[in-house]
């Protein structure tokens, strides 16, 4: 299957997820707690089921790793990694910047990433060849010094004490820091509106789609140790608009 066909199929998955999610938004639906005390709703579960059904019908041999319905072992080469609602707490609170994350991997390496924001009608699609925003090319901004940079993270309280100290070493250097946008922060980075995202405690379904989106837009994504973000990385992530910013941030965080 060509890359353009894979992109088209990945986008169709996000369309299917949108159709499921939209009627639930701000509807007062019930919230359940998972074993780790994180919230989940029928919107999460049913959106993932809709995407999995399409994948299994089109690619019965492909593996699937979803947040809500676990792992289906496939042929060992092709895998889809799904997060139906990244930012379930935002969704529950009626905030529209939650997103659906879809990644296609070959040999455990992300090849196609989709970051879809259903309630805002926004979609980023990334590959090694480039990233698009609603069908038009987009890119990170360059030439921004660390002291002029904008830094985002979802919630500082999600860091451990040591991680929080490392984050604050960067926070104290940049011009602007904002919180609470979940995956939307990476979309803003890919479109050239902010410069840095730092997070920890992520799972593969939180990050695999982000790698092609950021890298295709000209940015850099690694773990806090500078190593690639893979299925078995430690959940800490730094995304930067430029190599220079990235190197400065890693040096600060690991000092």
- Measured between alpha carbons, how far is 111 from 89 in angstroms, rounded to an integer? 28
Parallel, antiparallel or unpaired: strands 150-153 and 176-179: parallel
Verify that 114 and 153 share a domain, yes or no. Answer: no
Q: What percent of the chain shows pLDDT beyond 70? A: 99
- Tens of pLDDT, residue by residue over 194-230, are 999 999 999 999 999 999 999 999 999 999 999 999 9
SS3 117: strand
Verify that 19 and 130 share a domain, yes or no. Answer: yes
**190: which residues sit within 8 A by CB, 6+ positions away?**
115, 124, 126, 131, 133, 138, 139, 140, 213, 214, 216, 217, 219
**Residue 239: beta bridge partners?**
197, 221
Verify that 30 and 94 share a domain, yes or no. Answer: yes
In the structure encoding, which two tokens stand for residue 198, read together? 């730092």
Q: How many other CB atoms are there within 10 angstroms of residue 128's CB atom?
A: 13
- Measured between alpha carbons, how far is 98 from 91 in angstroms, rounded to an integer? 6
| H-run or E-run covering 89 | helix 88-92
Domain limit, last residue, from 121, 138, 155: 138
CA angle 90-206-215, nearest 5°? Answer: 115
The CATH number of whichever domain residue 159 belongs to comes to 3.40.190.80
Distance of CA 242 to the CA centre of its chain: 18
Verify that 45 and 134 share a domain, yes or no. Answer: yes
- How much is the pTM? 0.95
Residues of the chain with confidence (pLDDT) below 50? none
Number of folded domains in the chain? 2
SS3 160: coil
Verify that 127 and 155 share a domain, yes or no. Answer: no
Largest Cα separation within the chain, whole Å, is 50
SS3 45: helix
- Measured between alpha carbons, how far is 251 from 255 in angstroms, rounded to an integer? 6
| pLDDT at residue number 37 | 64
In the structure encoding, which two tokens stand for residue 246, read together? 């990235």
Verify that 81 and 170 share a domain, yes or no. Answer: no
Residue written as token pair 């789609």? 209
Boundaries of domain holding 76: 3-138
Domain limit, last residue, from 138, 158, 177: 138
- Tens of pLDDT, residue by residue over 96-113, are 999 999 999 999 999 999
The CATH number of whichever domain residue 89 belongs to comes to 3.30.540.10
Verify that 32 and 100 share a domain, yes or no. Answer: yes
- Measured between alpha carbons, how far is 46 from 25 in angstroms, rounded to an integer? 13
N-to-C CA span, the chain: 45
Verify that 39 and 127 share a domain, yes or no. Answer: yes
SS3 195: coil
Cβ contact 216:238 at 8 Å: no
């Amino acid at each position: 299957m060509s890359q353009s066909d894979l992109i088209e199929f990945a986008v169709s998955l996000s369309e299917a997820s949108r159709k499921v999610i939209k009627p639930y938004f701000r509807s007062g639906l019930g919230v359940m707690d998972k074993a780790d005390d994180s919230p989940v709703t029928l919107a999460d579960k049913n959106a993932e089921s809709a995407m999995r059904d399409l994948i299994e019908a089109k690619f019965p041999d492909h593996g699937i790793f979803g947040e809500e319905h676990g792992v289906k072992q496939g042929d060992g080469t092709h895998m889809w990694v799904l997060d139906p609602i990244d930012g379930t707490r935002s969704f529950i609170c009626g905030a529209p910047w939650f997103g659906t994350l879809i990644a296609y991997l070959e040999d455990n390496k992300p090849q196609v990433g989709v970051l879809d924001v259903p309630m805002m009608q926004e979609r980023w699609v990334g590959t090694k060849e480039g990233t698009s925003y609603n069908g038009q090319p987009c890119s990170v901004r360059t030439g921004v010094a660390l002291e002029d940079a904008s830094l985002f993270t979802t919630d500082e309280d999600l860091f451990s004490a040591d991680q929080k100290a490392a984050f604050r070493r960067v926070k104290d250097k940049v011009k602007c820091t904002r919180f609470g946008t979940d995956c939307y922060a990476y979309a803003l980075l890919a479109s050239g509106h902010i410069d840095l995202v730092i997070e920890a405690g992520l799972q593969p379904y939180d990050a695999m789609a982000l790698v092609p989106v950021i890298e295709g837009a000209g940015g850099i994504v690694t773990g806090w140790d500078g190593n690639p973000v893979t299925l078995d990385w430690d959940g800490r992530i730094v995304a930067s608009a430029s190599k220079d910013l990235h190197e400065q941030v890693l040096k600060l965080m690991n000092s």
